[in-house]
Structure 1
């Protein structure tokens, strides 16, 4: 049943979505929220606990997980903004500003991290000697700089420009079709200019560079393969041929993992952020007045946000798919977490079934020390 609101001019306002739309949207976004929080926490925990995974690339992946975790945590409020809070934002005005500021901040962090990831990956395959000179302190300093710079580029302007208020649904203003928590009408012109400049620098330039770097990495890897094949071919049937062939097989497996990981992360980034930025240009430029046009705007808006959430939820899966070490450590951590309750129960039952006097003296002493 659609909610009907009687406005002051006696006309009838219809929301651009139905109750069914709210249920369907919630059934998609809430599980994505839960999965995003759990998956990113697990990935962060795995990298933090494993010495094997403390590498240059995994430091960037861990920072990406922090960004995706923050985005997942605020996603229920974006769902509320597009559904139950569409006409009246009942949360605080500061919370409205905060979710928008955090959303754009984490988006910029993600785009710059993925570009940095691709640049360092290219260096590692093209100039390995240079790559091995990159220390963890260099990567951590770069990551901290990215978070600091994007805070001022994204967080600060958005926390100023966005607000929560009841929109005049009968006006000709561009915000007549927007949710209650959205861009302030006074800042629309500034936002249009900002989106052209900032999105070009923070989204479209990284996307272009990612395409170039992905092609370059693939070319370098296949060129190296050809050179190694020629060396193995010249070895003929010498005793060195078999060891070299086995080494080549391991190298190819590693190279395939490199291309797979980069391809999945880049593809996910494109699928999530291209629709979102395109919608921002569309909705701030068009001023549809018909009900069908407003309904289309709402559908595109929620659809692009779902694409963004799916993209960010896929990242932890891609990290594990493309790295055997990551998969092994993740499975190990999950097995330990699952086994811990059963181990605790078995210890309790054993201690209850065995009298203290029947335990060895060493065990009794150890129990006394632990009390």
Structure 2
């Protein structure tokens, strides 16, 4: 972000901020469009899956719906984060309720997303390693697990943040830790508690799931490749050197789709949550005694938050890229308004043509 050492007077008082006017505008250019896109893209994905009988039967699509709800909430609160880092840096002009809501909802959805990705990887591993047991897995069981995830994340993420965060106290000691944080931030009296909480909660909800996902994901690919090699060897032993059967081709397509879907979801998750969780650990421990440290702190926080929002915007796109069924359903859903519009236009043209020219000619559908 440029002009970071310039004076940026947002509150009619002379104050040197760790960002410049262009930095605030540039962050808005990234965050606000992503917020709007994330809102509509995730909403469309939720509607497409829930209204489709084919898609709604899949346990993986049920988890995708829950992930979209989490990303939808994140998109809604994204403008609050931008306000906190820019125009509300010194004075949070909104009611304190929205400050608490941002921190609470942000951690809540982050924990939900992390646990969902881990669950997604575990069920995908089960579907590949034990297909018969996977077939017994009913949607009801997955819904129950998802509900537990939301409940646990609410208790461990939403409630503590709601209690510990708010408008910065006026008695915050000058030069103390967090003095130069934005106005909507951690209460000074809670700093030590929060530092202990971060080490425990982030390890539990971010780092352990990340390590597990990085172990499970390659394991799925290894299992699939070994099975393909075994099937090929059996065909050679049986003397069947012809091309694979239609059933085997379909199975390979499903396996490829499963690996691609898992890879893109995990990749998007890592893109957003590794930088974000690392930054939050740094922010609670690193001092900000100089302007250069404040600039680095603000810039790092803004970039990591943009990456987090970017990963959540990419998710609906990646869901459609990885699944041809979902892609077709999404195309069908997006075409509905256009078809209605065209059919109305066609009817109007037909009526006008027949009434004026007394001709059976019909309008042309686009």
Cα offset, 1:131, TM superposition: 0.3
Whether contact under 8 Å (1:5, 1:14) holds in the other structure is no
Change in Cα spacing, 1:57 to 1:6, as seen in structure 2 (3 Å) is: closer
Secondary structure, in 3 states, of the residue corresponding to 1:182?
strand
Whether contact under 8 Å (2:111, 2:205) holds in the other structure is yes
Aligned alpha-carbon RMSD (Å): 2.2
Are 1:3 and 2:5 counterparts? no
Distance 1:237 1:262 in 2: 33
Q: How does 1:296-307 map to 2 (within 5 A)?
A: 296-307=296-307
Q: How does 1:237-256 map to 2 (within 5 A)?
A: 237=240, 241-242=242-243, 244-256=244-256
Distance 1:6 1:32 in 2: 27
Partner of 2:24: 22
Partner of 2:224: 221
- Unpaired runs of 5+ residues, structure 1, are 359-371
Distance 1:173 1:154 in 2: 26
Whether contact under 8 Å (1:80, 1:86) holds in the other structure is yes
Partner of 2:363: none
| Residue of 186, 191, 208 corresponding to 1:188 | 191
Q: How does 1:77-156 map to 2 (within 5 A)?
A: 77-156=80-159
Are 1:74 and 2:77 counterparts? yes
Partner of 1:41: 43
- Unpaired runs of 5+ residues, structure 2, are 1-5, 359-366
Distance 1:320 1:25 in 2: 28
Distance 1:77 1:6 in 2: 18
Partner of 1:368: none
1:181-236 deviations in Å (ceiling 9; x for gaps): 11111111111100100111111111011011112111110111111111222232
Cα offset, 1:271, TM superposition: 1.5
Distance 1:13 1:93 in 2: 23
Runs of 4+ in 1 over 2 A off after TM superposition: 1-8, 165-170, 234-238, 244-253, 337-355
Are 1:31 and 2:33 counterparts? yes
Whether contact under 8 Å (1:167, 1:179) holds in the other structure is no
> TM-score normalised to the size of structure 1?
0.89
> TM-score normalised to the size of structure 2?
0.90
Whether contact under 8 Å (2:11, 2:90) holds in the other structure is no
Change in Cα spacing, 1:167 to 1:175, as seen in structure 2 (3 Å) is: farther
